[in-house]
Homo-oligomer: A and B are copies of this chain.
Amino acid sequence: MEFNDYDFFVQHADINLYYATKFKAIDLAFYIVGNDGTDLLLVPDMEKERAVRESRVKEIASFGDLGYHDLRKELKDSRKAQAEMLIRLLKTHKARRVGIPTDFPAYLAIPLSQAFEVKVVKSPFLKMRAVKTQKEIEYIGDTSKAIISAFEFALKLLRREKSCDRIRERIENYLYLKGYLASDTIISSGKLSAIPHASGGIVEDHVVMDIFPRSRKHYYYSDFTRTVIVNRNDKIEEMLNAVIEAQEKAISIIREGITAKDVHYTVCDVLESYGYKTLRQKANEGFIHSTGHGVGLEVHEEPRIFENETVLEAGMVFTVEPGLYYKDIGGVRVEDVVVVRKNGCEVLTEYPKRIYLNSI
């Protein structure tokens, strides 16, 4: 890894550190890479042995190895001692320009910015994560299959269970026992479904089910939404038809080389052609969110599929999830996960989109 805008990059303990090192930090850890060849994982003393066992990084140091305990006694503050430990380490490497990720914690970011020319940047690992390996695509495919099996289980439940919270609980239990952890699953109906992230209530005319678990083994997410028609409702069905057409049109244009914006505006074009409002028109009802987001070790990651110029690359995995939301009617959404290929894209969550409960 070679950086242009800085000589060293310091990653704190989050999913990027896991991605880059394969070490699952409990609380604290730092991964430091430099243009001078530095490739160092820095962990609390107690974690050093586990880091040696689990991480792919060759050079592992403990806080103690770098004089942290004396610094803590001297400065009487563990956070100041951590900052000083990092500053001294970077100085021994003659660092001048240091990159830190946007969410790097303030108690370290501010002292570092006083000691070095600090650049706050998107973590380079975020960018690497956006393009998946074949193995990662298999993992996301595996989670996708589990979601579809849970969704079919939910369709059966929907015949007798009318509490959205209870359906949600049953879906999450089902997935957990199969080895997947779903949190914040959205099951909403009636007018409540006009709030994209709301969940709960009683099953009315239609149900939006948005299920996005991660594997308990390989940790990769997938994300899938279907809108099920329970009782005929012309307005909801018209909205759903427009959303399905917009989603399919968008999926049909996805391939290496086009931009995120091309995908998003394809969705907007179709929805607007039916008279629905979109964010492009500064609407606060209608299509009021982005078209999608990357999926991987996090449920929301790069690339974002919105008004951005991000160029799609083969191996990128993201959702395509147009929706329409009206307070007086309710909301509908259809969501699939796709992998970008050279000449098109592959859908990992293939499943019918027009689902009438009474005709299943």
Chain A residues with a Cβ under 8 A of chain B: 24, 26-27, 45-47, 49-50, 53, 64, 69, 79, 100-107, 109-110, 113, 118, 120, 172-173, 176-177, 181, 183-184, 195-198, 216, 282, 284, 288-289, 300
Contact = CB atoms under 8 A, between A and B. Distances in A.
Given A177-B173, A282-B69, A49 B107 contact: no
A104 B102 contact: no
A274 B190 CA distance: 67
Given A26-B197, A282-B69, A107 B120 contact: yes
B102 A107 contact: yes
Contact of A196 (B24, B46, B100, B282): B46
Secondary structure class of chain A's binding surface, majority of residues: mixed
A74 to B, nearest CB: 14
B103 A106 contact: yes
Given A26-B197, A46-B196, A288-B45, A110 B120 contact: yes
Given A45-B284, A197-B47, A110 B113 contact: yes
A101 B109 CA distance: 12
Given A46-B288, A50-B195, A176-B176, A120 B106 contact: yes
A49 B327 CA distance: 10
25 contacts: A24-B184, A26-B184, A26-B197, A27-B300, A45-B288, A46-B197, A46-B288, A49-B195, A49-B198, A50-B197, A50-B198, A64-B284, A79-B102, A100-B106, A101-B106, A102-B105, A103-B106, A104-B105, A106-B106, A106-B109, A106-B120, A113-B113, A173-B176, A173-B177, A181-B181
Contacts of A198: 49-50, 53
A47 B102 CA distance: 23
Please give me the 3 A-B residue pairs with the lowest Cβ-Cβ distance, nearest first: A106-B109, A102-B107, A104-B106
A157 to B, nearest CB: 16
Contacts of A181: 181, 183
Contacts of A102: 79, 105-107
A102 B79 CA distance: 9
A110 B118 contact: yes
A197 B101 CA distance: 27
A195 B43 CA distance: 14
A331 to B, nearest CB: 11
Contacts of A53: 195, 198
Contact of A110 (B47, B110, B183, B184): B110
Contacts of A118: 110
Given A105-B105, A109-B110, A176-B176, 10 more contacts: A24-B184, A45-B284, A64-B284, A104-B105, A104-B106, A106-B106, A110-B110, A110-B113, A113-B113, A177-B177
Contacts of A173: 176-177
A318 to B, nearest CB: 16
A172 B27 CA distance: 21
